[in-house]
Amino acid sequence: MENSSVAIQSLQGDLLRGQSKADLDALTSQLREEKNNALAREKEIKALRLKVKAQDEAEKMAASENEALRKELEGREEEVVELKLAKETFGAEKTMATDSWDPAVALEQYKTVKTTEVELLGLPAPSFNDEHEILWPAEAEKTPEPTDDDPPAE
């Protein structure tokens, strides 16, 4: 009976060792699974941190662009105010200018502007040799209109 008792104990030991090995395998498998889950969570956390960082950078860029656009808008608003002012004064200036407009003076001003422009650009001076004579208003009134009997002008 002692032999059978030793055999039973041996079988129980083998059974316990087998059960322990099965438990150990199960625990090892569970440990691997938890380790894989932890690594997956770490990767997810890193990805989320990168995403947050990218969003922060995008937010900074958007704020910077917004500031630049705001300044541009302010500049445009100033231009609009200036243009409205110019519009208001243009009518009066136009009336004053057309009432006292002298074509000969305008031509001389044009020549001065063009001559100065080409000098500043380093270009050759313009030639005004082929220009037409501008008559003063009083002279224009004195010039007779051509009639059908007049020879054609060349």
pLDDT of residue 125: 83
Estimate to the nearest angstrom the gap between the alpha carbon of 83 and the chain centroid: 25
Question: Over 60: is that where the pLDDT of 139 sits?
Answer: no
pLDDT of residue 29: 87
19-29 per-residue burial string, b: 16 or more CB within 10 A, e: under 16: eeeeeeeeeee
Rounded distance, CA 111 to CA 116, Å? 8
63-75 per-residue burial string, b: 16 or more CB within 10 A, e: under 16: eeeeeeeeeeeee
pLDDT by residue (tens digit) across 52-84? 999 999 999 999 999 999 999 999 999 999 888
